[in-house]
């Protein structure tokens, strides 16, 4: 059987799903509403478990070449401006061929993926194809775009983000909440590592204003730093972007940060939501269409890529290896609870740890991080979980 799979959304999850399905002999059409890939700053940390999947698809080497390889990450006390604990992915060397993360902008993975798709026969990529509705029919799904075009597929995968048209068309609830504060991202050419002695991925706890600080390569591969701060609940875009507010935040990190090295500002709302179903008939959700979370820990995009790989394997088993269609239910059995356990719970806990105001609880968090980093067994256990290697292994145990 030659099944047609329509994938909506050409972000990293969509292109990975398209490549994974096409490599298994499925006829893929990738539909993307934009006429070009969005370059706005988004997810940037790719964990070891995900690097294994990119290697399986033949994408790893090119992806690594446009990113920054990082073994270590740190937790800092923003009040004393001192490191608390450091974790080293090298302890995973017996668990994965990639004991490190790659830090790079997510649009680079999309662009690499689109180039690979252009080399695969019988794959169609339709940029500027804005999907407006889906209708499930007997044995298939009809997809309509804003230009009046219609197409029919055996299966459809919604990878079209947190505002997913696919999810809304299927009437699937997106359960959860929106954080009251927005997240402000300031991108700078200033070298925080040289100035502070921090690693290229650092989480700075502060009872007033925490910070995620990490380095990416930029399109020029010369390197730049992103600092993520919580905006006050009543802080307008204009106030957050003002020179005085930006200067205050950056100089809280380093008191003589040169303002002329600031190259980008962004602010966005942050959600913790999970679709109440990842499948409805022949329609599936993956990535942000299925789940969104705050970015502390860099887990959301990674989980989305895991969705894509799981779904491609499942469709292959049903279509090409004559497994019963009941196997399609396994996708939700695996992906939804694991997202809740390994992504939703971890990212909420990560954020709360960074913003904790009670001095006693802050100190208890610091003591726990030091104890975990200093104990080889706990250090390994911590990284197995945060790198999502543990979640991948657990998924395989779910029938």
| Average pLDDT of the segment spanning 1-15 | 94
* pLDDT score at 274: 98
Tell me: pLDDT of 2 over 90: no
Residues 6+ apart with CB under 8 A from 393: none
Report the C-alpha gap between 166 and 208 in whole angstroms.
39
The backbone torsions φ and ψ at residue 84, rounded to the nearest 5 degrees and listed phi first, read -100, -50
pLDDT tens-digit readout, 183-210: 999 999 999 999 999 999 999 999 999 9
pLDDT surpasses 90 at 159: yes
CA 33 to CA 55: how far, in whole Å? 28
- Spatial separation of the C-alpha atoms in residues 291 and 295, rounded to whole Å: 12
State yes or no: pLDDT of 22 exceeds 80.
yes
pLDDT tens digits, residue range 385-399? 999 999 999 999 999
- Per residue in 268-318, pLDDT (tens digit) is 999 999 999 999 999 999 999 999 999 999 999 999 999 999 999 999 999
Cα separations in angstroms, 310 against 36, 53, 293, 306: 27, 10, 20, 6
Instruction: Assess whether pLDDT exceeds 90 at residue 40.
Output: no
- Using CA atoms, how far residue 340 sits from 78, 250, 275, 335, in Å, is 29, 33, 11, 9
pLDDT digits (tens, 9 = 90+) for 250-275: 999 999 999 999 999 999 999 999 99
Tokens, residue 41:
């700053």
Of 201, 189, 181, nearest to 264 by C-alpha is 189
Show Cβ contacts of residue 260 under 8 Å, excluding neighbours closer than 6 positions.
none
- How many CB atoms sit inside 10 A of residue 325's CB? 9
55-96 pLDDT, tens digit per residue, is 999 999 999 999 999 999 999 999 999 999 999 999 999 999
**Hey, what long-range contacts does 148-152 have (CB within 8 A, 24 or more apart)?**
151/6, 151/29, 152/4
**Residue 1 pLDDT:** 61
Query: Which of 96, 127, 108 has its CA nearest to residue 43?
Result: 108
Residues 6+ apart with CB under 8 A from 289: 9, 158, 159, 160, 161, 162, 164, 166, 167, 275
**In whole angstroms, what is the distance from residue 388 CA to residue 375 CA?**
20
Please give the model's pTM, rounded to 2 decimal places. 0.96
Mean pLDDT of all residues belonging to the chain: 96
pLDDT at 42: 73
| Residue reference for tokens 């997510």 | 106
Residue 253 near residue 227 (C-beta atoms within 8 A): yes
Largest CA distance in the chain: 65
Residue 264: closest CA among 68, 39, 34, 6: 39
pLDDT at 138: 85
**Tell me, what DSSP letter sits at residue 289?**
G
Beta-bridged to residue 177, according to DSSP, are 272
Give me the CATH code for the 4-40+50-68+103-177+272-354 domain, please. Answer: 3.50.50.60
The residue-averaged pLDDT of 155-174 equals 97
Question: Torsions phi, psi of 306, nearest 5?
Answer: -65, -40
pLDDT in tens, 322-373: 789 999 999 999 999 999 999 999 999 999 999 999 999 999 999 999 999 9
């Amino acid at each position: 059987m030659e099944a047609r799979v329509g994938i909506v959304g050409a972000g990293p999850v969509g292109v990975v799903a398209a490549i994974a399905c096409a490599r298994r002999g499925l006829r893929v059409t990738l539909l993307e509403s934009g006429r070009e890939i969005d370059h706005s700053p988004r997810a940037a940390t790719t964990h070891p478990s995900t690097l294994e999947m990119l290697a399986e698809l033949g994408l790893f080497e090119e992806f690594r070449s446009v990113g920054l390889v990082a073994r270590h990450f740190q937790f800092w006390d923003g009040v004393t401006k001192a490191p608390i604990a450091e974790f080293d992915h090298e302890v995973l060397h017996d668990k994965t061929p990639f004991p490190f993360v790659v830090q790079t902008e997510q649009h680079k993975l999309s662009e690499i993926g689109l180039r690979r798709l252009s080399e695969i026969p019988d794959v169609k990529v339709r940029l500027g194809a804005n999907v407006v509705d889906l209708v499930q029919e007997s044995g298939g799904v009809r997809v309509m775009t804003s230009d009046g075009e219609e197409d029919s597929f055996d299966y459809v995968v919604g990878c079209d983000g947190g505002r997913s048209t696919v999810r809304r068309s299927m009437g699937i609830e997106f359960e959860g909440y929106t954080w009251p504060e927005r997240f402000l991202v300031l991108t700078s050419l200033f070298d925080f590592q040289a100035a502070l002695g921090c690693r290229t991925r650092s989480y700075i706890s502060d009872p007033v204003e925490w910070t995620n600080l990490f380095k990416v390569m930029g399109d020029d591969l010369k390197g730049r730093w992103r600092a993520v701060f919580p905006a006050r609940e009543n802080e307008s875009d204009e106030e957050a972007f003002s020179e005085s507010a930006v200067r205050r935040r950056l100089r809280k990190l380093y008191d003589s940060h040169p303002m002329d090295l600031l190259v980008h500002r962004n602010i966005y709302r942050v959600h913790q939501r999970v679709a109440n179903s990842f499948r409805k008939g022949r329609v599936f959700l993956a990535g942000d269409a299925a789940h969104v979370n705050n970015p502390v820990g860099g887990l959301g995009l990674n989980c989305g890529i895991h969705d894509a790989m799981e779904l491609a394997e499942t469709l292959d088993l049903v279509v090409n290896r004559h497994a019963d269609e009941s196997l399609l239910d396994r996708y939700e059995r695996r992906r939804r609870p694991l997202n809740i356990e390994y992504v939703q719970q971890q990212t909420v806990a990560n954020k709360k740890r960074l913003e904790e105001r009670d001095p006693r609880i802050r100190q208890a968090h610091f003591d726990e991080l030091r104890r975990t980093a200093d104990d080889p067994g706990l250090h390994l256990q911590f990284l197995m979980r945060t790198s999502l290697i543990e979640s991948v292994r657990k998924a395989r145990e779910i029938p």
